[in-house]
Amino acid sequence: MTNDKLSSLIDRQLSSYLPRRGKLAQAMRYSVFAGGKRFRPRLCLATAKALGKPATSVLPIACALELLHTFTLIHDDLPCMDNSDYRRGKLACHKKFDVAIATLAGNTLNTLAFTILVAATKKAQVIIEIGQGLLEVLAGQVEDLAYQGKNISLRKLKQVHQQKTGALLLACVRSVGLECGASPKQLKALSAYARYLGLAFQICDDILDATSIREILGKPVQADKEKGFPHFIGLKKSGELAVAEQQKAIKALAAFGPQADQLRKIAEDVVNRKK
Protein backbone atom coordinates (compact mmCIF):
# COMPACT_ATOMS: atom_id res chain seq x y z
CA MET A 1 0.00 0.00 0.00
CA THR A 2 1.38 3.41 -1.01
CA ASN A 3 1.90 6.22 1.50
CA ASP A 4 -1.02 8.12 -0.02
CA LYS A 5 -3.36 5.15 0.39
CA LEU A 6 -2.13 4.59 3.93
CA SER A 7 -2.72 8.24 4.78
CA SER A 8 -6.25 8.07 3.32
CA LEU A 9 -7.00 4.96 5.36
CA ILE A 10 -5.69 6.60 8.54
CA ASP A 11 -7.54 9.86 7.84
CA ARG A 12 -10.88 8.09 7.36
CA GLN A 13 -10.46 6.30 10.66
CA LEU A 14 -9.40 9.48 12.44
CA SER A 15 -12.42 11.30 11.08
CA SER A 16 -14.72 8.61 12.43
CA TYR A 17 -13.39 9.19 15.95
CA LEU A 18 -13.57 12.98 16.00
CA PRO A 19 -16.67 14.99 16.93
CA ARG A 20 -18.15 17.23 14.25
CA ARG A 21 -20.21 19.92 15.97
CA GLY A 22 -19.14 22.95 17.95
CA LYS A 23 -16.07 25.15 18.16
CA LEU A 24 -14.06 22.60 20.11
CA ALA A 25 -14.70 19.97 17.44
CA GLN A 26 -13.65 22.46 14.76
CA ALA A 27 -10.37 23.14 16.55
CA MET A 28 -9.66 19.43 16.99
CA ARG A 29 -10.37 18.65 13.33
CA TYR A 30 -8.41 21.68 12.18
CA SER A 31 -5.30 20.47 13.99
CA VAL A 32 -5.63 16.77 13.18
CA PHE A 33 -6.20 17.43 9.47
CA ALA A 34 -3.68 20.26 9.08
CA GLY A 35 -1.51 18.21 6.73
CA GLY A 36 0.67 15.94 8.87
CA LYS A 37 2.75 13.11 7.42
CA ARG A 38 0.99 10.49 9.59
CA PHE A 39 4.47 9.32 10.49
CA ARG A 40 3.50 7.73 13.80
CA PRO A 41 0.47 5.81 12.49
CA ARG A 42 2.53 4.59 9.54
CA LEU A 43 5.16 3.41 12.01
CA CYS A 44 2.48 1.48 13.91
CA LEU A 45 1.11 -0.19 10.76
CA ALA A 46 4.61 -1.07 9.53
CA THR A 47 5.40 -2.65 12.91
CA ALA A 48 2.32 -4.85 12.66
CA LYS A 49 3.39 -5.93 9.17
CA ALA A 50 6.89 -6.73 10.42
CA LEU A 51 5.29 -9.06 12.95
CA GLY A 52 3.15 -10.75 10.31
CA LYS A 53 -0.14 -9.15 11.37
CA PRO A 54 -2.63 -7.17 9.25
CA ALA A 55 -2.02 -3.43 9.44
CA THR A 56 -5.73 -2.80 9.94
CA SER A 57 -5.65 -4.80 13.19
CA VAL A 58 -3.77 -1.97 14.91
CA LEU A 59 -5.44 0.97 13.16
CA PRO A 60 -7.22 2.19 16.34
CA ILE A 61 -3.91 2.19 18.24
CA ALA A 62 -2.24 4.02 15.34
CA CYS A 63 -4.98 6.67 15.32
CA ALA A 64 -4.87 7.10 19.10
CA LEU A 65 -1.14 7.79 18.88
CA GLU A 66 -1.70 10.35 16.13
CA LEU A 67 -4.26 12.12 18.32
CA LEU A 68 -1.76 12.17 21.19
CA HIS A 69 0.90 13.56 18.88
CA THR A 70 -1.46 16.30 17.71
CA PHE A 71 -2.25 17.12 21.34
CA THR A 72 1.46 17.64 22.05
CA LEU A 73 1.85 19.86 18.96
CA ILE A 74 -1.08 22.09 19.89
CA HIS A 75 0.32 22.62 23.37
CA ASP A 76 3.90 22.95 22.10
CA ASP A 77 2.85 25.94 19.96
CA LEU A 78 1.14 27.81 22.80
CA PRO A 79 2.54 31.19 23.93
CA CYS A 80 3.63 29.66 27.25
CA MET A 81 5.69 27.01 25.42
CA ASP A 82 7.37 27.63 22.03
CA ASN A 83 5.02 30.50 21.09
CA SER A 84 4.80 29.43 17.44
CA ASP A 85 2.28 31.04 15.11
CA TYR A 86 2.43 28.39 12.38
CA ARG A 87 2.27 24.63 12.16
CA ARG A 88 2.33 22.55 8.96
CA GLY A 89 2.02 25.68 6.83
CA LYS A 90 -1.13 26.89 8.57
CA LEU A 91 -1.91 29.05 11.55
CA ALA A 92 -1.30 27.25 14.82
CA CYS A 93 -4.47 26.21 16.63
CA HIS A 94 -4.27 29.02 19.18
CA LYS A 95 -3.90 31.59 16.37
CA LYS A 96 -6.76 30.16 14.30
CA PHE A 97 -9.05 29.97 17.34
CA ASP A 98 -7.69 31.22 20.67
CA VAL A 99 -5.48 30.02 23.51
CA ALA A 100 -8.37 28.68 25.61
CA ILE A 101 -9.91 26.66 22.77
CA ALA A 102 -6.49 25.37 21.69
CA THR A 103 -5.71 24.23 25.24
CA LEU A 104 -9.07 22.48 25.52
CA ALA A 105 -8.69 20.92 22.06
CA GLY A 106 -5.36 19.41 23.11
CA ASN A 107 -6.79 18.15 26.39
CA THR A 108 -9.77 16.61 24.60
CA LEU A 109 -7.59 14.85 22.02
CA ASN A 110 -5.55 13.40 24.87
CA THR A 111 -8.67 12.08 26.59
CA LEU A 112 -10.20 10.80 23.35
CA ALA A 113 -7.02 8.90 22.50
CA PHE A 114 -7.12 6.90 25.73
CA THR A 115 -10.85 6.28 25.30
CA ILE A 116 -10.07 4.73 21.90
CA LEU A 117 -7.27 2.64 23.38
CA VAL A 118 -9.46 1.23 26.15
CA ALA A 119 -11.99 0.12 23.54
CA ALA A 120 -9.36 -1.19 21.10
CA THR A 121 -7.32 -3.54 23.28
CA LYS A 122 -7.81 -5.95 26.14
CA LYS A 123 -4.10 -5.75 26.97
CA ALA A 124 -3.52 -3.26 29.77
CA GLN A 125 0.21 -3.23 29.05
CA VAL A 126 -0.46 -1.66 25.63
CA ILE A 127 -2.19 1.31 27.26
CA ILE A 128 0.44 1.52 30.01
CA GLU A 129 3.20 1.58 27.38
CA ILE A 130 1.59 4.51 25.58
CA GLY A 131 0.87 6.34 28.82
CA GLN A 132 4.48 5.97 29.90
CA GLY A 133 5.63 7.21 26.50
CA LEU A 134 3.48 10.32 26.81
CA LEU A 135 4.82 10.98 30.31
CA GLU A 136 8.34 10.85 28.85
CA VAL A 137 7.36 13.34 26.13
CA LEU A 138 6.04 15.77 28.73
CA ALA A 139 9.15 15.35 30.87
CA GLY A 140 11.26 16.03 27.79
CA GLN A 141 9.34 19.22 27.13
CA VAL A 142 10.11 20.40 30.68
CA GLU A 143 13.81 19.67 30.12
CA ASP A 144 13.72 21.41 26.75
CA LEU A 145 12.31 24.56 28.31
CA ALA A 146 14.84 24.44 31.14
CA TYR A 147 17.86 24.23 28.82
CA GLN A 148 16.88 26.97 26.35
CA GLY A 149 19.79 29.35 25.87
CA LYS A 150 22.15 27.19 27.93
CA ASN A 151 25.14 25.12 26.89
CA ILE A 152 24.59 21.42 27.53
CA SER A 153 26.54 18.31 26.62
CA LEU A 154 25.76 16.27 23.53
CA ARG A 155 24.84 13.39 25.83
CA LYS A 156 22.27 15.55 27.64
CA LEU A 157 20.91 16.89 24.35
CA LYS A 158 20.37 13.33 23.13
CA GLN A 159 18.65 12.44 26.39
CA VAL A 160 16.23 15.38 26.14
CA HIS A 161 15.22 14.49 22.60
CA GLN A 162 15.00 10.77 23.30
CA GLN A 163 12.25 11.85 25.67
CA LYS A 164 10.61 14.70 23.79
CA THR A 165 10.64 13.08 20.34
CA GLY A 166 11.79 9.50 20.68
CA ALA A 167 9.50 8.36 23.49
CA LEU A 168 6.32 8.50 21.42
CA LEU A 169 7.99 6.68 18.52
CA LEU A 170 9.13 4.04 21.00
CA ALA A 171 5.56 3.80 22.28
CA CYS A 172 4.34 3.25 18.71
CA VAL A 173 6.46 0.17 18.07
CA ARG A 174 6.31 -1.27 21.59
CA SER A 175 2.54 -0.90 21.99
CA VAL A 176 1.93 -2.51 18.61
CA GLY A 177 4.53 -5.16 19.39
CA LEU A 178 2.72 -6.03 22.61
CA GLU A 179 -0.66 -6.01 20.88
CA CYS A 180 0.63 -8.32 18.14
CA GLY A 181 2.30 -10.76 20.51
CA ALA A 182 5.94 -9.97 19.72
CA SER A 183 8.50 -12.21 21.39
CA PRO A 184 10.91 -10.64 23.93
CA LYS A 185 13.66 -10.80 21.28
CA GLN A 186 11.49 -9.08 18.69
CA LEU A 187 10.36 -6.43 21.16
CA LYS A 188 13.97 -5.70 22.11
CA ALA A 189 14.95 -5.28 18.45
CA LEU A 190 11.96 -3.04 17.72
CA SER A 191 12.74 -0.93 20.78
CA ALA A 192 16.33 -0.41 19.65
CA TYR A 193 15.11 0.51 16.17
CA ALA A 194 12.70 3.11 17.57
CA ARG A 195 15.31 4.70 19.84
CA TYR A 196 17.76 5.18 16.98
CA LEU A 197 14.95 6.31 14.66
CA GLY A 198 13.77 8.91 17.17
CA LEU A 199 17.20 10.47 17.45
CA ALA A 200 17.70 10.51 13.67
CA PHE A 201 14.28 12.13 13.28
CA GLN A 202 15.04 14.91 15.77
CA ILE A 203 18.50 15.64 14.37
CA CYS A 204 17.01 16.02 10.89
CA ASP A 205 14.29 18.25 12.34
CA ASP A 206 16.99 20.49 13.78
CA ILE A 207 18.91 20.52 10.49
CA LEU A 208 15.78 21.54 8.58
CA ASP A 209 15.07 24.22 11.18
CA ALA A 210 18.51 25.66 10.50
CA THR A 211 18.54 25.34 6.70
CA SER A 212 14.98 25.40 5.33
CA ILE A 213 12.42 28.17 4.85
CA ARG A 214 8.94 28.48 6.36
CA GLU A 215 7.21 28.06 3.00
CA ILE A 216 8.73 24.58 2.67
CA LEU A 217 8.93 23.51 6.30
CA GLY A 218 5.43 24.74 7.17
CA LYS A 219 6.44 26.30 10.48
CA PRO A 220 8.80 29.05 11.66
CA VAL A 221 12.45 28.29 10.95
CA GLN A 222 15.44 28.87 13.23
CA ALA A 223 13.12 28.47 16.20
CA ASP A 224 15.62 26.01 17.68
CA LYS A 225 18.79 27.74 16.48
CA GLU A 226 20.17 28.00 20.02
CA LYS A 227 19.15 24.57 21.26
CA GLY A 228 19.28 22.19 18.29
CA PHE A 229 22.02 19.77 17.25
CA PRO A 230 23.55 22.13 14.62
CA HIS A 231 24.01 24.77 17.31
CA PHE A 232 26.06 22.39 19.47
CA ILE A 233 27.95 20.27 16.93
CA GLY A 234 27.52 22.06 13.58
CA LEU A 235 25.57 21.12 10.44
CA LYS A 236 28.12 18.68 9.02
CA LYS A 237 28.47 16.63 12.18
CA SER A 238 24.70 16.75 12.70
CA GLY A 239 24.14 15.26 9.25
CA GLU A 240 26.72 12.55 9.91
CA LEU A 241 25.14 11.73 13.27
CA ALA A 242 21.66 11.49 11.71
CA VAL A 243 22.91 9.01 9.11
CA ALA A 244 24.74 7.01 11.79
CA GLU A 245 21.57 6.74 13.88
CA GLN A 246 19.56 5.81 10.78
CA GLN A 247 21.98 3.00 9.96
CA LYS A 248 21.84 1.70 13.52
CA ALA A 249 18.04 1.69 13.32
CA ILE A 250 18.11 -0.38 10.14
CA LYS A 251 20.73 -2.74 11.58
CA ALA A 252 18.53 -3.32 14.64
CA LEU A 253 16.01 -5.01 12.31
CA ALA A 254 18.53 -7.63 11.14
CA ALA A 255 16.53 -10.47 12.69
CA PHE A 256 13.48 -9.53 10.65
CA GLY A 257 13.03 -10.54 7.03
CA PRO A 258 11.43 -8.64 4.13
CA GLN A 259 8.26 -8.16 6.18
CA ALA A 260 10.11 -5.33 7.99
CA ASP A 261 11.00 -3.49 4.77
CA GLN A 262 8.44 -0.78 5.50
CA LEU A 263 10.19 -0.06 8.79
CA ARG A 264 13.51 0.13 6.94
CA LYS A 265 11.98 2.50 4.37
CA ILE A 266 10.68 4.73 7.16
CA ALA A 267 14.22 5.01 8.54
CA GLU A 268 15.55 5.91 5.08
CA ASP A 269 12.83 8.53 4.57
CA VAL A 270 13.55 10.20 7.92
CA VAL A 271 17.00 11.33 6.79
CA ASN A 272 15.97 12.19 3.22
CA ARG A 273 12.88 14.27 4.02
CA LYS A 274 12.55 17.95 3.16
CA LYS A 275 9.98 18.84 5.83
The residue length of the chain stands at: 275
Could you list the residue range(s) of the whole structural domain that residue 132 is in? 3-272
Task: Choose between 11 and 223: higher pLDDT.
Answer: 11
Phi, psi of 86 (to 5 degrees): -130, 150
Provide, rounded to the nearest whole percent, the portion of the chain with pLDDT above 90: 72
Q: Which of 8-12, 18-22, 77-81, 142-146 has the lowest mean pLDDT?
A: 142-146
What is the domain count for the chain? 1
In this predicted model, what pLDDT tens digit does every residue of 8-56 receive, in sequence order?
899 999 999 999 999 999 999 999 999 888 999 999 999 999 999 999 9
Q: Which residues of 165-193 are buried (b: 16+ CB within 10 A; e: fewer)?
A: bbbbbbbbbbbbbbbbebeeebbebbbbb
**Cα torsion at 94, 100, 104, 107 (round to 10°)?**
80
CATH number of the CATH domain containing 202: 1.10.600.10
Residue 193 has pLDDT above 60, yes or no: yes
In this predicted model, what pLDDT tens digit does every residue of 107-124 receive, in sequence order?
999 999 999 999 999 999
Task: Write down the pTM of the prediction.
Answer: 0.92
Rounded average pLDDT over 218-241: 77
| pLDDT, mean over the chain | 91
